[in-house]
Amino acid sequence: MKRILAVDDSLSIREMVQFTLKQAGYHVDAAVDGVDGLAKAKTGQFDLIISDINMPRMDGISLIRHLRNESTYKFTPILMLTTESGSDIKMTGKSAGATGWIVKPFNPEKLIATVQKVLR
């Protein structure tokens, strides 16, 4: 079973992502912010990391940078959850090493479709 780590400071989004992806047959762990996400990512290898951008303690961009410095996450797909429609944040994310993005608001179908783009 493919393992996904979902990082978001919002409990409702976390629950929704977790629930949806579990229904779709993935193993999903959740983390509440960048610091938590990085710690969890280091303890187990995930096949995909989905992270929010705006979070307390460590934001999504720093998390991505840290992850790309880990040898085990050099090529792992990392998707960012963003509400920003502008390309600024997408570009910042890309240069930090993000694979792609899911634009909020998203529905469960869209989430699964996007995840399937990188996990197949």
User: Smallest distance, Å, CB 21 to other proteins?
Assistant: 10
The DSSP string of 70-90 is: SGGGSS--EEEEE---SHHHH
Greatest pairwise CA separation for the chain in angstroms: 35
User: Smallest distance, Å, CB 32 to other proteins?
Assistant: 12
In the 3-class helix/strand/coil scheme, how is 94-118 assigned residue by residue?
A: HHHCCCEEEECCCCHHHHHHHHHHH
Binding site for other proteins (CB under 8 A): 9-13, 15-16, 19-20, 23-24, 52, 54-56, 68, 74-78, 81, 83, 85-87, 91, 94, 97-101, 103-110, 112, 117-118, 120
**Cβ nearer to other proteins, comparing 42 with 117:** 117
Evaluate whether 48 touches 79 at the Cβ level (below 8 Å). Answer: yes
User: Smallest distance, Å, CB 80 to other proteins?
Assistant: 10
**Cβ nearer to other proteins, comparing 19 with 42:** 19
